[in-house]
Amino acid sequence: MLSSTQDGDTLLITGAASTLTRIVYLGTAMEVAGDDKAWSMGFSGHGFDLTTITGTGVTFTFGPFASNPSDLYTVFGTNLGDVITGAPLDGNGGLPAGLRLYGRGGNDSLIGGAGSDSLNGGYGNDVLQGGAGNDTLVGGPGSDTAVYLGADAVRVDLRLTGAQLIGVSFGYDLLQTVEHVSAGSGDDELIGDDAGNRLTGGTGADTLIGNGGSDTLDGGAGDDIYYADSADLVIEGEDAGFDTVISAEAATLLANLDALRLTGTASITGTGNDLDNLIIGNDGQNTLAGGAGADTLQGGLGNDVYEWDGEDLIVEAAGGGIDTLRAEVDAALPDEVEVLVLAGYGLLSGTGNGLANRIIGNADDNQLTGGLGRDTLEGGLGNDRYVLGTGDAEDLVVEAANAGIDTIYSANSIAVPLNVENASLTGTGANAVVGNTLGNLIIGNAAANRLTGGGGSDTMDGGGGADIYFADSEDMVREVVTDSFVDVVYSSGSMDLGNGIEWLFLTGTSDSFGRGNTLNNRITGNAASNLLDGREGADSLLGGGGDDVYMTDGHDIIVESALGGYDTVISSGSVRLAAYTERLMLSGIGNLTGIGNDQSNLILGNGGANYLDGMQGRDTLIGGLGNDTYVYDPLDLLTEASDGGVDTLISSLSAALPVNFEVLRLTGYGAIAGTGNAANNSIYGNVGNNVLNGGAGTDVMAGGYGNDIYDTDGRDVIIEVAGQGTDSVRTTGNYTLPQNVEWLFSASSSGLSLGGNALANRITGGVGADTLNGHGGADVLMGGAGNDLYVVYPGTVVVERPGAGTDTVLVSSNYSMTPGVERLIVGGYGAVSILGSREANYIAGNVAANRLTGGGGRDTLAGGGGNDIYIVDSDDTVIERYNQGFDTAYSSGSWTMPPGVEHLVLSGLAGTGLGNAEANRITGSAAANRLFGLAGNDLLFGGSGNDRLVGGAGSDVLNGGAGYDRFVFARGEGRDVITDFQNGYDRIEIATGAERYADLSIAQVGAHTCVSFAGTQIVLANTSARLVDPGDFVFV
């Protein structure tokens, strides 16, 4: 608790918002300072006069007091917006007898107590709430508001300058420079002055009177009444009671207002809003517009105008002037209203009442019906409809020139009036209509009518019944109603029949056209050249004389005479030319058939896929853009463009495709030929034996049944089905037989690659160097002249004439070479056995261990990789590379081992075996052999004859075998071994290095005898040196 015994104390409070309570002031003044704070202070003492608030934006609440002091209490606010409130009583205490609150600057809110307060807002837009008591409210500069809350009924008149009784519980208040009033929940009456006031009634049935100025009137909830002028703004909440505006000026109900009553005698306008309004006019000439909603409009005296939206109720008394209904929707005149004006835009209808009405249309299409009385109907600019019923003969129709396309509906015969374009018969009578000079639309009824168009481009529709039309080339005749009657048109010029018309007769003498419709029409031409088009339906077209043109869909009957000119049929459907018509043109893009007659026809296709058959005569067939099919006749001329699709020729005779044809199909059973052109053709045979030749291009040929022959350049595709004959291909280019074709022949002087299939093929080469490959099967390959290459499988038979080139066989299995074939190459990786022919063969093995037999002739054998075996004679040559296996040659004659061959076996009477520089193994035969190892560590076996074995350089092993053998050595040949030396039988011949027995060094080494001389050592295996004597040696 803070206390002071001095006057003029200052209490300074800063920081957060705080509440100071039970402060005892024994002096007379204090000052509260702080920015944007809310202060609440209670007092237990009194005897002070003034509190001054400093800072910005302060909310200051003072009281309650411990007792109810009788002194006045004054509070001065800041220069910004303050809220200064006197608190209610606390226990048995209360507020002073009166408050003096000064807001100074800013938008202040000053709230007094229950006493007689003085509230002065100062500058700014202030809110003053005096509360109970006789208060003085001074707004000061700015826009200020007096607030009365808690009163049951308040009456405030801002025009008064003195104190006025506000309400039972509020006393007399003096209001100065206050512009706005806000009341509470009672039935209030708030009256403004000439300034722009804002009057707020709150809840209750309030009456707000704005007077002069631009006022804002807000009644709040309740059934409020507003006295407003055009400058005022009336605010009502949604569903806030039934609210009424009373105005002596033109007025428009704002949102949520319900009723408008016009006062005085001025000719003014009353306009509603979106609610269901009640609008009552005055005694002048009013224009009443309800706006949206189901409104009630009551005009009163005067020539009133009602703006009608179709939902409103019009109340008009008899004798209440000449009244007008302006409608923006379809309208029928209510009672006692004389004039109907269709306003705005849209297709509207207007109907009169029992008075003599004037009905005026808008600028759009209207339907005007006068009803009873002598009416005047004015359609305006749109396409208007005038309805003239029974008894309406006295009605006047007014139409301006060029004011829309207008129609009169009549139950009697009629001549179409001036500036009216159309007429329609109603009722059931058989009537006539005659048009005017305009382009009329004339429509009949269900009876048999007679319709004449007159001048202009007329449209006539007779309706039901057997109608007769008189027309010219500018008219259109149609019938919407479908019935069983036959309607007839007589036309002096060309005519397009509209829907529902069956017959057309062309009259006159000029060239004309007649077109039908979807019905089964009968169209008859005149003596000139006509164009007759039945369109849909099964029509009958009768051309008469002249060069006629018939347009048909293929379902029509065309009647022409033998002397009826040069006639043309243009068809959108498949068609056969009628007798005595000469030309056929297919139209559209459909896939159509065109068939000629016995005349020489010209038949032209369309953009679709056509089927063209000229039949008899010398016909010209031109297919067009689609994939066309032609039936071949040797007398016909067939023409196709380069971009004319994929075109087919069907023929039962031998035929060659003309230029720009792609497909040839042979029919029938005859053995006939089909030949292509330079394009990529497809050629199909019949069931006979055909010869098919695609010509240039990449062609597809399918022979069908029969033993067919295909001529190809190697680029073609041939299609055959199993079991359809034995078929042959003759090719000038490389080719492999497709499935189900058996024979292949080269027709080229150049070498070709010819391949078979899985069947047992017969493949015959030409004079060039061909490659023949059966690709499996029991094939027969015949190369012909040239150096041919055969790819052979098991079961393949190769036929070659001797001297017909140097031919090669490529095999991958055991094979015996055919006579006439010179070369053989082994492919693959398997070990094979090859037998050459009697010619000089070249045989090359693969990487496996091959057995190559040259046969007769000077053969060349190349084993390749692997441990190869060569069966040779003295004329054969073996080619082997080093380190390509351990290779063996079996020779029936003397033979010299080539490089790369390691083993030689002599047979028969073969005499000499000569090794190479490698480590050889040479085996003699039963004859007396001469074996030479040459360089290398050789192994020589003499066999059973009297052999001569020469190891040569290297460490050789010699075995003479049976017989009297001679082992030959020379100087510097290293250490050799004789494994079977026989004393007394075999001899050791010293060629060089020793001349006599004494030159030899002979020693026993173990079980062996070693003979040494001049860098050569001879080991006699398992021989005793005691047995060696000079008789065992020969010196040369």
DSSP-derived secondary structure for 528-565: S-EEEE--SSS-EEE--SS--EEEE-S--EEE--TTS-
Residue 86 and residue 110 in contact, taking contact as beta carbons nearer than 8 Å: no
pLDDT at 33 over 50: no
Strand order in the sheet with 29-35: 11-12, 29-35, 50-56, 72-76, 98-102, 118-120, 136-138, 171-176, 164-167
Share of the chain above pLDDT 90, in %: 66
**pLDDT given for residue 181 in this prediction:** 93
Residues 752-764: tens digit of each pLDDT: 999 999 999 999 9
Q: Residue 41: pLDDT above 60? A: no
**Six-digit token pair at 371?**
């009803």
HSE toward the beta carbon, residue 4, CA cutoff 13 A? 15
Taking the C-alpha atoms of residue 245 and residue 225, their distance in angstroms, rounded to an integer, is 6
Predicted local confidence at residue 219, as pLDDT = 86
Q: What angle do CA 711, 713, 718 make, to 5 degrees?
A: 60
pLDDT, tens only, 213-250:
999 998 889 999 999 988 999 999 888 899 999 999 99
Residue 45 has pLDDT above 50, yes or no: no
State the pLDDT confidence band at 19, using cuts at 50, 70 and 90: very low
pLDDT at 76: 86
What is the reported pLDDT for 86? Answer: 72
Average pLDDT over residues 888-913: 92
The contacts of residue 550 (CB under 8 Å, 6+ apart) are: 531, 532, 533, 541, 543, 556, 558, 567, 568, 569, 570, 581
Asked if residue 679 has pLDDT above 60, the reply is yes
Whether 66 shows a pLDDT value over 90: the answer reads no
What is the pLDDT averaged over residues 420-431? 90
Statement: residue 40 has pLDDT above 60: no
Q: Where are the domains of the chain?
A: 566-635
CB 173 within 8 A of CB 161: no
Per the CB < 8 A criterion, the answer to whether 695 and 672 are in contact is: no
For residues 471 and 75, the model is more confident at 471
Q: What CA–CA distance (Å, rounded) separates 277 from 295?
A: 5
Q: Tell me the sheet residues that pair with 269.
A: 287
Residue 789's pLDDT band (boundaries 50, 70, 90)?
A: very high
Question: What pLDDT score was predicted for residue 1004?
Answer: 96
- Confidence (pLDDT) at 12: 40
* Burial class of residue 96 (count of CB atoms within 10 Å of its CB; 0-12, 13-18, 19+): buried
Confidence label for 354 from pLDDT (cuts 50, 70 and 90): confident
Q: How far apart are CA 438 and CA 713, in angstroms?
A: 75
The 593-595 sheet, strands edge to edge: 575-576, 593-595, 611-613, 629-631, 648-651, 663-666, 682-684, 700-702, 717-719
Instruction: Provide the mean pLDDT of the chain.
Output: 88
- Long-range Cβ pairs for the range 403-407 (8 Å, 24+): 403/379, 404/365, 404/379, 404/380, 405/441, 406/379, 407/383, 407/441
Structure confidence at residue 656 (pLDDT): 95
pLDDT exceeds 70 at position 736: yes
Backbone φ, ψ for residue 1031 (5° rounding): -70, -15
Q: Which amino acid is at 693?
A: N
In this model, does residue 169 exceed pLDDT 90? no
Mean pLDDT of 901-917: 91
In this prediction, residue 28 has a pLDDT band, given cuts at 50, 70 and 90, of very low
List strands edge to edge, sheet with 331-332: 331-332, 348-351, 366-369, 385-388, 407-410, 422-425, 441-443, 459-461, 476-478
The 10s digit of each residue's pLDDT in 950-982 is 999 999 999 999 999 999 999 999 999 999 999
How does pLDDT run across 603-625, given as a tens digit for each residue?
999 999 999 999 999 999 999 88
pLDDT tens-digit series, residues 374-400:
888 898 889 999 888 766 767 888 999
Percent share of the chain, pLDDT over 70: 92
- Rounded to 5 degrees, φ, ψ at 986 are -90, 155
The per-residue pLDDT for 24 is 35
766-783 pLDDT, tens digit each: 999 999 999 988 999 999
pLDDT at 93: 46
CA proximity to 85, closest of 39, 24, 28: 39
